[in-house]
Amino acid sequence: MGRLKLLGLDAFVAIVGLGVTALVISVLVNIPVFRSAILPQQVASTVEVSSNPVGYPDATDIFQVEIRNGVGVQGAAEQMRDYLRSKGYDVVAVGNHHSFDVDKTTIVDRIGNLEIASQVAASLGLSPDRIQEDVRTEFHLDASIIIGKDYGMIPPFTQQSGTTQESNLNDTN
């Protein structure tokens, strides 16, 4: 019986020891000096892309953006995603905006860097007055694009035929 108690005590001490070790490691990983020694660092790279023949600038760095459909036209956000990816943007999310009554397409600066938001706006042929600032670092992206009712006036929608645009305007799923 004494051996079983001793074995149980040894197991308990081992479990507590593992817990303390895990706690110490997690604390060390959260200290920047130790974090860089323990975890590998990711380094962002830039990619040069060719110039846009339509006259709108391409992304010269890789910017992370999300696209929100604020007009309710089925497929609008996906079409915008395909266009921006072809221009060198990293589109990390596509989905619906919380409402479908957005009048004007808007670029929302999410990191407090208006230069990036301006680049995104210029890539879509939008003026700087379409940029809003709403810093949300928890989103882990540079900018949000909210597609508005004026979407037919901006790329990629201006590159469609008129009949396709009209059918998309009537498709509000």
Residues facing 91 on adjacent strands: 65
Report which of residues 111 and 1 the model is more confident about: 111
Q: Which two tokens stand for residue 91?
A: 């589109």
Q: What is the pLDDT at residue 58?
A: 54
Residues facing 67 on adjacent strands: 94, 145
Please give the Cα distance from 35 to 2 (Å, whole number). 44
**Model-wide pTM > 0.85:** no
Mean pLDDT of the chain: 76
Which residue intervals of the chain are DSSP H helices?
A: 2-29, 32-38, 76-86, 114-123, 162-170
